[in-house]
Structure 1
C-alpha cells in the first residue's frame, strides 16, 4: 500500500521557509557576503513543493528509491536555489537515459550517433557512455527511438535552459516555480517513467536475433517486413548499425550471413543521406589502409546495391578499375565468355539515374559502345543485357561522348569492321533523342551516312567543327 504524501499547508511552508531564509540571510551578512537575490521568494518555492507530490507519483516505487537527484532537486527548491534545482533535474534525466541505453542496445546506440569511424572504435561498453556529450546522448536516444519526437524537442530545450539558467554556469537568471515543476514533469513523463515501446522494441528484438541466432529465409521475411515499416529515423539507425556490425573486425561469418538476408530492406527504406554516409566510410577505410574493413564495406554495399553512393573521387577510381578490366576482357582472348562478369561488376557502380563521374565518362562511354557493337566477329550475347541497361541510362553528357567517339582513332578503326557500323547506327536509334542541338546534328549525320562513310566521318573537318574538337 502506497503511503500518502502529506502536503504542507501554505502557512506551514511559509513559516518554516521564512525562518530558514531569515537565518541564512543573516549568516551571509555576518560573513560579509551578498545576501540579496541569493534565494528565490518563498511563494515560488511553495509552488514547487505543493505540486511535486502529484508529479513524483508518476514514477514507480523502484525508480523512486534510486532517484537521488530528485531528492536533491526538492531540497534545492525548498532552500530557494532554483538554478541548482534545474541542474539536478537534468542530472537525473541524463543518468536515466544512460541506464536506458545500457539496458537497451549499446552497439545500436553508438552506431546511430557516432559517425566518425575512429571515434566509434573507442566506444565499446557502458563506461564509455561518459564520453558521449549530453547533446549527443539526447540525439542518439531520439535516433534509436528511446526518446519520442516531442520528448526530444522538450529535452533539447531543457538542456539549453540548463546550460544558460542553472548553476552549471555563472548566471543571474530568474526561474519560477511553475517553470521548474513543468520541466520536472516533462523529464519524468518522457524519460524517467517511460520505457521504449512499439517499433523500438521490434528493432531490439531483431538485432538480437541477427547477433545470436542463425536466421532462415522465413525468419528474414518477418524481419524485412518489420524494417520496411519503420519510421525514417529508426530506419536510418538500423542501417548504420547493420553497416557497422558488418564492417567491424572479427565479426562472425554467421552474423554477416544474417545481415545479408535483411540489409537490402534497411537500405531501401533509409534516406539517401545515410547511404552516402556508408559510402564515405568505405572511402575512409580505403584512405586509412584498413583493407579488411574496406573489403567488408565493399561486400555490404554490393549486397544492397550501394556502390553508386561512394564519394565522387572514390567512385571514379573504382569505376576506372572496372572499366579497364572490361576493356581488357573485350579486347582479350575468349572475350565473349569473359565480358559478362566484368560488365556485371561495372553495373554495380552505376545508379538508377546513370550518373557517372566526369573523370571516367569518356572511357566509360567508349568501352560500353565498343563492347556493344562488337569486334567485327560478333557480340558477347551474355553481356548484352548489361550493356543495354547501362547505355540506355546515358544522359546528355554521355550522348555527346557517343558523337565524339568517331574522332577517336581506336574507335574509328573498330567502326569499319564487319557489322560494327550498322550496329552503331542501330544503337543510336535506340538511344533517347539528344536535347542538345549540336549532338542532334551529329546523330543526324551519323544516321545518314553509309557503312563505308561512318569510319571516316570523324576525320571530316565540318564534323569536327560541329563538335568543337581538334
Structure 2
C-alpha cells in the first residue's frame, strides 16, 4: 500500500483531480484513502491492471482476515503465505509500469501562449506518450476541439494539429472512434465552421478513411476542380504549385475514392500536359509523383 501511494505521487497528485474531476484531491486525501479505495484509484489511473487489482484485492482480504490486527478467522499455512508474498511482489512492488499524468491545464496554457518550438513540442509529445491510454484519448479529443473552435488563436490551432500529427499513425481504435463521434456531432448540429475545420484535421492526419465515402469524395473532387480552375487561369504557372501540392498530399495519405477518380485523373493529366504556353515547372514534380503513384496502384 505504501508503494501504491508512491505510484500515485509519481503519477502526479496535481493531475489526479483533472482525471477524477475531484478538485479536493490532495496529499491529505491520498493518505486518508482506505486500502480498497487506493486499489480502485490505482486501477482508474492505469497504475495497476485488472489482474493486478484482482490479486492485490485478494491479498487485502487475506490480510484483513488472517493478520494479527484483526481477530483471526483461521490460520495461513506456509504455502498460502508464500503465495501472498509472491502476489504483493509481482503485482505491486516489482511493477515497473508507472505512467505519469499530463497536466492538461499546463498543456492548455502552453498551447495558447505561442507557437511551439521544436524542443517544446517534443517535450509535450513525450509526456503524452508516457501517460495512460484513457488520458491520451481525452487529450486528442481536446486538441481536436481546439483546432476546430473558430475562437481559437492561430498559435493554439497550429500547436494542436502539430501534436496530433505526430501521433497520427498510433491513434488507438477508441481515440479514432471518439474523434469521429465529435466530427459527427458537428454535422448533426449544423456547425459548418467546426465541421469544415474537422475535415481539415482528418485530412492533415491522413485519416480521411475514418469519415464517410461521400465526405472523402467531396474533398478530392473539390481539390481537383480547384486545380483545374487555376490551371485554366491566365496566371496558372504562378498559381498552380500550391493547389497541385495540396492534391498530392491528399493522395499520398488517403485513398482516392472510386467515385472521385475520374475527376482526379482529369485534373492531374490536364495540368501535367499543360497548355499551348507550356506547363508549370514548379508544379510538375507534384504531377509526376501523382502519375507515378497511380501507375503503381494499378499494377499492384
Tell me, yes or no, whether TM beats 0.5.
yes
Partner of 1:181: 61
Q: How does 1:111-260 map to 2 (within 5 A)?
A: 146-148=45-47, 150-151=49-50, 181=61, 198-201=98-101, 203-204=102-103, 207-213=104-110, 214=113, 216-217=116-117, 218-228=119-129, 235-248=136-149, 250-251=151-152, 254-260=155-161
**Which of 265, 283, 288 is matched with 1:388 structurally?**
288
Larger relative contact order, structure 1 or 2 (CA cutoff 8 Å, min sep 6): 2
Q: Does 1:297 align with 2:198?
A: yes
Report if the CA contact (8 A) 1:326-1:339 is conserved.
yes
Q: How does 1:70-469 map to 2 (within 5 A)?
A: 103-105=17-19, 146-148=45-47, 150-151=49-50, 181=61, 198-201=98-101, 203-204=102-103, 207-213=104-110, 214=113, 216-217=116-117, 218-228=119-129, 235-248=136-149, 250-251=151-152, 254-271=155-172, 274-275=175-176, 278-279=179-180, 281-307=182-208, 309-352=210-253, 355-394=255-294, 431-432=295-296, 435=299
Partner of 2:94: none
Secondary structure of 2:141's counterpart equals helix
Gaps of 5+ in 2: 6-13, 24-40, 66-87, 89-96
The structure with the larger Rg is: 1
Secondary structure of 1:200's counterpart equals coil
Deviation at 1:313, TM superposition (A): 1.5
The root-mean-square deviation of aligned C-alpha atoms, in Å, is 4.4
Specify whether residues 282 and 228 from structure 1 end up closer, same or farther in structure 2 by C-alpha distance, changes over 3 A only.
same
Secondary structure of 1:270's counterpart equals coil
Distance in 2, matches of 1:345 and 1:228, equals: 30
Report if the CA contact (8 A) 2:100-2:127 is conserved.
no
Specify whether residues 287 and 384 from structure 1 end up closer, same or farther in structure 2 by C-alpha distance, changes over 3 A only.
farther
Secondary structure of 1:392's counterpart equals helix
Specify whether residues 368 and 284 from structure 1 end up closer, same or farther in structure 2 by C-alpha distance, changes over 3 A only.
farther
Deviation at 1:265, TM superposition (A): 2.1
TM-score (norm 2): 0.61
Specify whether residues 338 and 364 from structure 1 end up closer, same or farther in structure 2 by C-alpha distance, changes over 3 A only.
same
Partner of 1:174: none
Equivalent residues, number: 241
Gaps of 5+ in 1: 1-54, 61-99, 110-124, 127-140, 159-177, 190-196, 395-430, 437-470
Distance in 2, matches of 1:435 and 1:350, equals: 17
TM-score (norm 1): 0.41
Partner of 2:78: none
Report if the CA contact (8 A) 2:47-2:98 is conserved.
no
